[in-house]
Amino acid sequence: MTGIKFAVREGALQGRLPVRELARACVGACAQAAAELGARRAGLAEVPAVRVDDGAVAAAFLSERHLLIDGRAPVNFAPLSRFWRTADGWVRTHANYPHHRARLLDALGVPDDVPTVEAALAERSALEVEDAVYAAGGLAVALRSPEEWAAHPQAAEVAQRPLVEQGRLDTARARVLAPVGTSPLLPAAGLRVLDLTRVLAGPVATRTLALLGADVLRLDAPRLPELPDQHADTGFGKRSATLDLTTDRQTFEELLAAADVVVTGYRPGALDRFGLSPEALAERRPGLVVAQLSAWGGYGPWRERRGFDSLVQVATGIAVLEGSMERPGALPAQALDHGTGYLLAAAVLRALAEQSEEGGSRFVRLALARTALWLTDGMDGTAPGDVGSGPYDGPEPWLSETDSALGRLRYALSPVSFEGGPVNWARPPVPWGTDAAHWD
């Protein structure tokens, strides 16, 4: 990341692993891609200077913890989303959503009661729990050491893939990107993004594209409401609508026909039955950029498994590296989610630039497990040359407040910063599903 100025702040995102360096690199990549696309669209002779401040990065990577709604702090993990001792080790479950909680309880055959769940898990092996809960459609992952994960078939598949997979889908003609102004410089102005993502990396990516000027419309199935606090944290700059793809396909096709980007964050294959594979989307909308995000990757024996940042940390050995096999730990932030989100936004911006030059519908793919491999086995822990460095004394300089339909919000500002670029979102989040499913 030559040419980027860094403000290195000791104490930000401290962990045993180089999580601060990963966070810094992901944000820097996104800001650089934004500055380059902005310079091109505005006809600037030079690319605007990019600055990455560890303080802003740390605040943003903990945005869900800094959020306040009318002074109330959200609860980020439900009672059944945690580590549990098993007969031979540890397992971590994720049960924030009601349907995931119900499937976990069904797999264990117990009521919704923490002591009862704890007792049931203590009688089983971690791998037995993992298999049973996933078979029931729930989420549970056994704690593995880095060596155990490296020997797993899914880890072998992940290691064969680049951090960012990208390519062309067809030979569609290039689309001309209209010129943009410079007050502020919005690289994604005028671009339309269909946001089919949930929890947390995908929404972070589309939240960033909204900051940069894109018209982002998030679509959710009406039967699967998003967690309200989570939606508030990642909904800045976006509109939110519900749409049932099984009964209102015409509306979706009308949205697709005018979209520039489609971002999906469901497990691989889940949307293909609706005709939403990258190839099918590009066939109906030539020149489209399709961005896909998953937990484990669209390959290998775990390709169809659901997953979250916390579970990927447990499977890949991060929880052991940040703690031990006897007492697992966690990264100081959900850095796999946030970091992958900024990398995804960067990949979309670069794909848009390439498409406008060379044509062809484009795809980009990222996986939390591949970002985890970068953190554990590929990230340089040394600090770059710093500018205006100092200690990290807390997030306050990078927090802001605004009124919204959800109430008075305190929130973290975006860490994506370049000269002349936006410093805040054009609109606060709206309640889930309250907008019409059409473009502005």
For residue 332, which of 23, 80, 102, 97 has the smallest C-alpha distance?
23
The answer to whether residues 418 and 69 touch, using CB atoms and an 8 Å cutoff, is no
For residue 102, which of 80, 125, 86 has the smallest C-alpha distance?
80
Q: For the purposes of burial, counting CB atoms within 10 Å of the CB of 423, is it exposed (0-12), middle (13-18) or buried (19 or more)?
A: exposed
CA of residue 330 relative to chain centroid, distance: 18
CA dist 423 and 385 (Å) reads: 24
For residue 348, which of 210, 203, 215, 209 has the smallest C-alpha distance?
209
CA dist 153 and 151 (Å) reads: 7
Residue 102, helix vs strand vs coil:
helix
Please report which helix (H) or strand (E) contains residue 262, including its range.
Answer: strand 261-264
Residue 345 identity (one-letter amino acid): A
Q: Which residues of 373-399 are buried (b: 16+ CB within 10 A; e: fewer)?
A: bbbbeebeeeebeeeeeeebeebeebb
For residue 125, which of 104, 142, 140 has the smallest C-alpha distance?
142
Length of the chain: 440
The answer to whether residues 213 and 346 touch, using CB atoms and an 8 Å cutoff, is no
Q: Within 10 Å of residue 11's Cβ, how many Cβ atoms? A: 14
For residue 95, which of 73, 67, 76, 119 has the smallest C-alpha distance?
76
Question: Tokens representing 256?
Answer: 């697709």
Quickly tell me which residue has 């010129």 as its tokens. 179
User: From the candidates 337, 377, 386, 435, which is the catalytic residue?
Assistant: 337
CA dist 42 and 283 (Å) reads: 30
Angle in degrees, 0-180, between the axes of helices 114-122 and 98-108, rounded to the nearest 10: 50
Residue 211, helix vs strand vs coil:
helix
Residue 253 identity (one-letter amino acid): E
For residue 50, which of 61, 36, 60, 63 has the smallest C-alpha distance?
36
Whether 53 is catalytic: no
Q: Which residues are designated catalytic? A: 337
